[in-house]
Amino acid sequence: MGLFRRHKLDSKAYDEQLVDIIHDAKYDYEKARLTQDAMFESNVDTRKVLAETARAKQTYFFLLRAARGRNMRGRWATAFERPEK
Protein backbone atom coordinates (compact mmCIF):
# COMPACT_ATOMS: atom_id res chain seq x y z
CA MET A 1 0.00 0.00 0.00
CA GLY A 2 2.40 2.81 0.63
CA LEU A 3 4.94 1.21 2.82
CA PHE A 4 7.90 1.47 0.49
CA ARG A 5 6.90 4.46 -1.57
CA ARG A 6 9.38 7.19 -2.02
CA HIS A 7 8.36 10.66 -0.93
CA LYS A 8 8.19 13.09 -3.81
CA LEU A 9 10.02 16.35 -3.49
CA ASP A 10 8.39 19.62 -4.36
CA SER A 11 10.64 20.30 -7.33
CA LYS A 12 9.59 23.92 -7.78
CA ALA A 13 10.42 24.81 -4.17
CA TYR A 14 13.68 22.86 -4.41
CA ASP A 15 14.64 24.77 -7.57
CA GLU A 16 13.89 28.09 -5.88
CA GLN A 17 16.05 27.14 -2.89
CA LEU A 18 18.84 26.06 -5.22
CA VAL A 19 18.71 29.40 -7.05
CA ASP A 20 18.93 31.25 -3.72
CA ILE A 21 21.90 29.13 -2.64
CA ILE A 22 23.60 29.73 -6.01
CA HIS A 23 23.17 33.48 -5.60
CA ASP A 24 24.72 33.32 -2.12
CA ALA A 25 27.60 31.14 -3.35
CA LYS A 26 28.27 33.52 -6.26
CA TYR A 27 28.41 36.44 -3.84
CA ASP A 28 30.81 34.56 -1.55
CA TYR A 29 33.03 33.61 -4.50
CA GLU A 30 33.19 37.18 -5.83
CA LYS A 31 33.93 38.51 -2.34
CA ALA A 32 36.73 35.94 -1.88
CA ARG A 33 38.17 36.85 -5.27
CA LEU A 34 38.20 40.55 -4.44
CA THR A 35 39.81 39.82 -1.07
CA GLN A 36 42.44 37.68 -2.78
CA ASP A 37 43.25 40.47 -5.23
CA ALA A 38 43.57 42.95 -2.38
CA MET A 39 45.83 40.61 -0.38
CA PHE A 40 48.22 40.15 -3.31
CA GLU A 41 48.94 43.87 -3.20
CA SER A 42 50.17 43.61 0.40
CA ASN A 43 53.02 41.55 1.83
CA VAL A 44 50.87 39.07 3.75
CA ASP A 45 50.93 35.27 3.62
CA THR A 46 48.05 34.52 1.28
CA ARG A 47 47.73 30.73 1.62
CA LYS A 48 44.59 30.94 3.73
CA VAL A 49 43.04 33.48 1.38
CA LEU A 50 43.87 31.30 -1.63
CA ALA A 51 42.32 28.28 0.07
CA GLU A 52 39.15 30.21 0.91
CA THR A 53 38.87 31.46 -2.67
CA ALA A 54 39.35 27.94 -4.03
CA ARG A 55 36.69 26.57 -1.67
CA ALA A 56 34.20 29.27 -2.63
CA LYS A 57 34.87 28.67 -6.32
CA GLN A 58 34.38 24.92 -6.02
CA THR A 59 31.15 25.39 -4.05
CA TYR A 60 29.78 27.80 -6.65
CA PHE A 61 30.63 25.59 -9.61
CA PHE A 62 29.28 22.49 -7.85
CA LEU A 63 25.94 24.24 -7.39
CA LEU A 64 25.92 25.38 -11.02
CA ARG A 65 26.51 21.80 -12.16
CA ALA A 66 23.63 20.66 -9.94
CA ALA A 67 21.37 23.28 -11.53
CA ARG A 68 22.47 22.23 -15.00
CA GLY A 69 21.69 18.62 -14.11
CA ARG A 70 18.15 19.69 -13.22
CA ASN A 71 17.87 21.63 -16.53
CA MET A 72 17.31 24.89 -14.69
CA ARG A 73 17.61 28.26 -16.34
CA GLY A 74 18.30 31.50 -14.55
CA ARG A 75 19.97 34.88 -14.57
CA TRP A 76 23.26 34.02 -12.95
CA ALA A 77 24.91 37.32 -13.97
CA THR A 78 22.98 39.29 -11.34
CA ALA A 79 24.07 36.99 -8.55
CA PHE A 80 26.75 39.39 -7.27
CA GLU A 81 24.09 41.60 -5.70
CA ARG A 82 23.53 40.24 -2.20
CA PRO A 83 19.86 39.36 -1.73
CA GLU A 84 18.38 40.99 1.34
CA LYS A 85 16.55 38.52 3.55
Is pLDDT above 50 for 48? yes
Using alpha carbons, list the distances in angstroms from residue 77 to 19, 23, 56, 73, 74: 12, 9, 17, 12, 9
CB contact at 8 A, 74 and 19 = yes
State which amino acid sits at residue 81: E
pLDDT tens-place string over residues 14-32:
888 999 999 999 999 999 9
Is pLDDT above 80 for 2? no
Q: In this predicted structure, what is the pLDDT of residue 73?
A: 75
CB atoms within 10 A of CB 25: 20
Is pLDDT above 70 for 60? yes
- Mean pLDDT over the full length of the chain: 82
Q: In this predicted structure, what is the pLDDT of residue 85?
A: 47
